[in-house]
Amino acid sequence: MQEYISKKVGAIEFGLFSPKMITKMAAVKIVTPELYDKEGYPVDGGLMDIRLGVIDPGLRCKTCGGKLKECIGHFGHLELARPVFHIKFVAHILKILKLTCRNCGRLLINEERLKSFLESLKNPSAEKHPELKKQELKEFVAEVKSTKKCPHCQEKQHDIKFEKPSNFYENDKKLTPIEIRSRFEKIPDDDVRALGLNPEVARPEWIILTVLPIPPVTTRPSITLETGERSEDDLTHKLGDIVRINQRLFENINAGAPEVIIEDLWELLQYHVTTFFDNEVTQVPPARHRSGQPLKTLTERIKSKEGRFRHNLAGKRVNYAARTVISPDPKLKFNEVGIPKIVAMELTIPERVTEWNIKYLKKFIEQGPHNYPGANYVLRPDGKKKKITDETREQLLEELQPGFIVERHLMDGDTAIFNRQPSLHRMSIMCHKIKVLPGRSFRLNPNITTPYNADFDGDEMNLHIPQNEESRAEAEILMQVQSHIISPKNGLNIIGCIDDAIVGNYLLTKKLEFDREEAISLLISIGVENSEKLKKFGKKVSGMEVFSALLPSDFDFIGQTKGSTRDEKISVVIKKGNLVSGYIDRSTIGEEKGTLIRALYKEYGEEIGIDILNKIFRLGLEVLLRHGFTTAISDTDLPERTRLSCQSLIEEAGAKVNELIAERKAGKLEAIPGYTEDETLEFKILEILNKARNAVGEAVSSTADENNPSIIMAASGAKGSILNLAQMAACVGQQALRGKRIEKGYKERTLVSFKQKDLSPEARGFIKRGFKQGLSPTEFFFGAMTGRDSLMDTGLRTPKSGYLYRRLANALQDLKVEYDYTVRDANKKIIQFKYGEDSIDISKSEGGKINVKRIVKEVLGE
């Protein structure tokens, strides 16, 4: 195969600019800090010199002749009156100073020793671990640094001290950049190489600046305000400071000013050059605007979240995207997304005109941009983009021919990519089919909120429209909702039925029975029409039969119901597509554990899988619509008998606790090993109170009516639990802070309404009343304490865990499973010898395991 690469990067070399190089590549020598003359025209030799590039539309570059976007700008240069340090290289300067002789510039080591060390480092036969090499090198460098006498010229070496930000001292005498530069100049090329620099592109003396490259104006464009005033970029301001001080320094040197003044100016120049490179250097006060806000100089442009990398390169903004609030629409299919008409008329899909679709596309142009479905633009083969308006429409229609591209409005069935941040896993961005709807929000089926982790309390989501056939195909093959029903984290279905859909199917399969006509009308209303099973319906049709009508007739399945304190777990059996025993609840069709859904998906694939799931969901809703289902406070009404027994349960527990307290006071309580008597008492009290609450819960659930909607919701797993119900009906229970009963407040008591050292349940946050009955003031206060604590907790934990996750994802991002099943990083270093130690693809397993029994059964055909 021929490779279509005209030029290939062979190597990249990093080096330093030499002063010569800087002057050579400069288009302008900067001589004056002034920017514009009286007419507002850029000054020659100023920082906005027109030879530095163009930033005004219409003008041409003086250097290259290019127009605004053609000319990328040209560097200038500034001769510094005195050399200064480059702040980003001070660490290197210190190192080189310490490693070389102050007199002859040679490395402080004799040649044989150096040679043998370098060779041992490079020697490929004795392969060493990279960590080890680092260690050796460190030791060697330390050895060279500590040499006190130059082995070449016998010169005595002095201690070099470094003081932040950029001061070097030798025996308490300050070293000027000039001195350091002259020392670096003496280092022979071979020694430079040993230092790890390539002397051809990076001589050490080039670290110290004598000539400053002036970045082109295109990197620091000035903004023209509405008033016509010009506002310069931060970099231009900073450069202006540098040029100004540089000029003053020149003048003073030439005038023969006293050394003190020159030194002050030199230091000032050093400060300005330092802040030009980095305005956040420690112990250097940041340069500021007149308003007091720090200038954004070179380093700040690149660094951190708002910097070039994370903001502009990793986080690019795109066209053909939309964002609004989301809201639920249960009438949509799982893989659809409802988009507002105004969005559909703004976003477009390019369609190429051919002989066969020219009539079809002309219709869109006739409609224009303001009628739906219309078109916004026509692209001619010569690359011109024409907007469709009332004036241009007729002409565009006339000249339209094969080869043109029409950008038409979005229509039902188009492909879109839908996303909600934070995109923590691959299900956070999926491909949907568009459904154009009235309104101003994106609509999605409430059952697919889980993968996006969305709710409808004001969440916003993003929509992207792929613009060509390739990207559409890629999205449809890899990203469709139906391809993501099974989560890769545990091999269970992340999409399933929620809320009413579960209740509906639970009622249907457990209790309901219909007349033949009723059953068929129910099924037809959700779009099941040609099922063979409909024909077999008898006069009376059970809910199980109705549910079975959705299943393929060769489907076998064995699962289990959820089970609860009221109902035992029983098996759900489907034989030849008929639900024979059991009933449907959360553990068969719910999300994360819907075994039935997973089985269907495995057997029949994504398309049929999502279709059946969709029908199951709609059936649930339809059943509830016809049957009626509501919940009310009266659900928590208890019969007098139960109410009394609950009360006595709590009273008994209270009495037991008082007994224990009395026992402790008498000193008769025996401590659990490892704990004090008081701690033992606390444990025992907690245990008793928890037991009491559970007993109340059981009492509530066992006496409640089977048709009680709240009980149905809890039993089917759709929403709520028996515990919630018991809290409303009978007893809220113990409030706990940090795993203990409430202790804080006043001296040895929680509230002023109790006596000191009162350990009784009421005084330590036990709420014996239920929500319906109402809480006493003290009980309410205890409830508020735990409520606030948990609110604080979640508020503090979310950002912390988010950052933790970000770091983890960044650390793991280029790990990959190779073809030999090893997990390796980008350097092909082995992390794991077998992926997950068992090389199982979780998304193809059943909860991380392979069900060998089932497979054997299937293969043998039972």
Task: Name the site residues for other proteins (rule: CB under 8 A).
Answer: 127-132, 135, 820, 822, 824, 827-831, 833-834, 836-838, 840, 848
Minimum gap (Å) between residue 712 Cβ and other proteins? 38
Alpha-carbon dihedral angle through residues 549, 551, 552, 555, given to the nearest 10 degrees: -130
- Of 475, 452, 432, 486, the closest CA to residue 606 belongs to 486
* Structure-block tokens of residue 224: 């023209």
Beta-strand runs (E) in 30-188: 76-84, 160-163, 167-170, 173-175
β 823-824/816-817 pair status: antiparallel
Q: Which is nearer to other proteins, 129 or 747 (CB)?
A: 129
Minimum gap (Å) between residue 217 Cβ and other proteins? 49
* Structure-block tokens of residue 586: 């959360």
Counting every residue, how long is the chain? 862
Minimum gap (Å) between residue 673 Cβ and other proteins? 23
Neighbouring CB atoms inside 10 A of 569's CB total 12
Q: Which is nearer to other proteins, 64 or 840 (CB)?
A: 840
Which residue type does 302 have? I
Neighbouring CB atoms inside 10 A of 507's CB total 22
Report phi then psi at 247, rounded to 5: -65, -40
Q: Which residues lie closer than 8 Å to 4 by C-beta, 6 or more apart?
A: none
Minimum gap (Å) between residue 841 Cβ and other proteins? 12
* Structure-block tokens of residue 666: 């008498």
Bridge partner list, 409:
348
Residue 538, class by beta-carbon neighbours within 10 Å (0-12 exposed, 13-18 middle, 19+ buried)? exposed
* Structure-block tokens of residue 581: 């025993």
- Of 277, 270, 285, the closest CA to residue 177 belongs to 270
Minimum gap (Å) between residue 14 Cβ and other proteins? 24
Minimum gap (Å) between residue 130 Cβ and other proteins? 6
Alpha-carbon distance 86 to 177, whole Å? 10
Instruction: Give CA 857 to chain center in angstroms.
Output: 43
Minimum gap (Å) between residue 837 Cβ and other proteins? 4
Minimum gap (Å) between residue 855 Cβ and other proteins? 17
Minimum gap (Å) between residue 850 Cβ and other proteins? 11
DSSP 358: H
Alpha-carbon distance 443 to 5, whole Å? 46
Bridge partner list, 778:
none
Q: Which is nearer to other proteins, 135 or 813 (CB)?
A: 135
Q: Which is nearer to other proteins, 805 or 821 (CB)?
A: 821
* Structure-block tokens of residue 392: 């241009």
Which residue type does 833 have? F
Minimum gap (Å) between residue 832 Cβ and other proteins? 8
| Helix, strand, coil percent content, the chain, rounded in steps of 5 | 45, 15, 40
Contact 262, 249 (CB under 8 A): yes
What is the DSSP secondary-structure string of 24-75? HH-SEE---S--B-TTSPBPTTSTT-GGG---STT---TTT---TTT-----
Alpha-carbon distance 395 to 404, whole Å? 14
Alpha-carbon distance 343 to 3, whole Å? 42
Bridge partner list, 214:
76
* Structure-block tokens of residue 385: 């983009």
Element (H, E) at 741: strand 740-741
Minimum gap (Å) between residue 845 Cβ and other proteins? 10
- Of 756, 761, 727, the closest CA to residue 741 belongs to 761
Q: Which is nearer to other proteins, 634 or 843 (CB)?
A: 843
Q: Which is nearer to other proteins, 527 or 848 (CB)?
A: 848
Q: Which is nearer to other proteins, 121 or 792 (CB)?
A: 121
Minimum gap (Å) between residue 819 Cβ and other proteins? 11
Minimum gap (Å) between residue 827 Cβ and other proteins? 7
Q: Which is nearer to other proteins, 738 or 828 (CB)?
A: 828
Q: Which residues of 546-565 are buried (b: 16+ CB within 10 A; e: fewer)?
A: bbbbbbeeebebebebbebe
* Structure-block tokens of residue 199: 């002397």
Q: Which is nearer to other proteins, 428 or 845 (CB)?
A: 845
Alpha-carbon distance 53 to 70, whole Å? 10
Contact 654, 535 (CB under 8 A): no
Minimum gap (Å) between residue 494 Cβ and other proteins? 21
Q: Which is nearer to other proteins, 143 or 163 (CB)?
A: 143
Minimum gap (Å) between residue 213 Cβ and other proteins? 40
Q: Which is nearer to other proteins, 422 or 848 (CB)?
A: 848
Minimum gap (Å) between residue 426 Cβ and other proteins? 22
Q: How far is the CA of 763 from the CAs of 535, 662, 745, 756, in angstroms?
A: 67, 16, 11, 10
Minimum gap (Å) between residue 492 Cβ and other proteins? 16
Q: Which is nearer to other proteins, 103 or 845 (CB)?
A: 845
Neighbouring CB atoms inside 10 A of 682's CB total 19
Q: Which is nearer to other proteins, 555 or 835 (CB)?
A: 835
State the residue for tokens 């006739």: 366
Q: Which is nearer to other proteins, 460 or 841 (CB)?
A: 841
Minimum gap (Å) between residue 830 Cβ and other proteins? 6
Q: Which is nearer to other proteins, 802 or 848 (CB)?
A: 848
Q: Which is nearer to other proteins, 474 or 820 (CB)?
A: 820
In sequence order, which ranges of 666-721 are alpha helices (DSSP H)? Answer: 677-703, 709-716
Contact 253, 237 (CB under 8 A): no
Q: Which is nearer to other proteins, 141 or 644 (CB)?
A: 141
Instruction: Give CA 409 to chain center in angstroms.
Output: 31
